[in-house]
Amino acid sequence: EIVMTQSPATLSVSPGERATLSCRASQSVNTNLAWYLQRPGQAPRLLIYGASTGATAIPARFSGSGSGTDFTLTISSLQSEDFAVYYCHQYNNWPLTFGGGTRVEIK
């Protein structure tokens, strides 16, 4: 099973600042990686797939990069609605696996 490790567990950021979230895979997943955002009490929402392709209607401030084992989600200027939990997800190998999540909180 591929283990996905996200860091940091919690990120404190001020509104308008840039946030950088990391995700590392225990073995290569090529670019078969997605990012999701989950707000309290809501279902997860797809942000990025294929490591760097933005999902439909996702604001341009969200961007993804990386390949192989190291991936990054960048939020260029945090808005109030971006304070949430973010998950990475690999779908290169069965079983599919998620990272443990990064909580982005208001500083």
Partner 1 sequence: EVQLVESGGGLVQPGGSLRLSCAASGFTFSNYEMNWVRQAPGKGLEWVSYINSGGDDKHYADSVKGRFTISRDNAKNSLFLQMNSLRADDTALYYCVRDGRQYEGAYRRFDHWGQGTLVTVSS
Question: To the nearest 10°, the Cα dihedral for 72, 78, 84, 88?
Answer: -10
Q: Is the peptide bond before 40 cis (omega within 30 degrees of 0)?
A: no
Return d(Cα 86, Cα 9) in angstroms, integer. 10
Closest CB to partner 1 among residues 13, 55 = 55
Question: Does residue 36 belong to the site contacting partner 1 (CB under 8 A)?
Answer: yes
Residues 45-84 that bind partner 1 (CB under 8 A): 45-46, 49-50, 53, 55-56
Residue 99 CB, shortest distance to partner 1, in Å, is 8
Binding of partner 1 at residue 87 (CB under 8 A)?
yes
Q: How far apart are CA 107 and CA 91, in angstroms?
A: 33
What is the contact surface with partner 1 in residues (CB under 8 A)? 1, 31-32, 34, 36, 38, 43-46, 49-50, 53, 55-56, 85, 87, 89, 91, 94-101
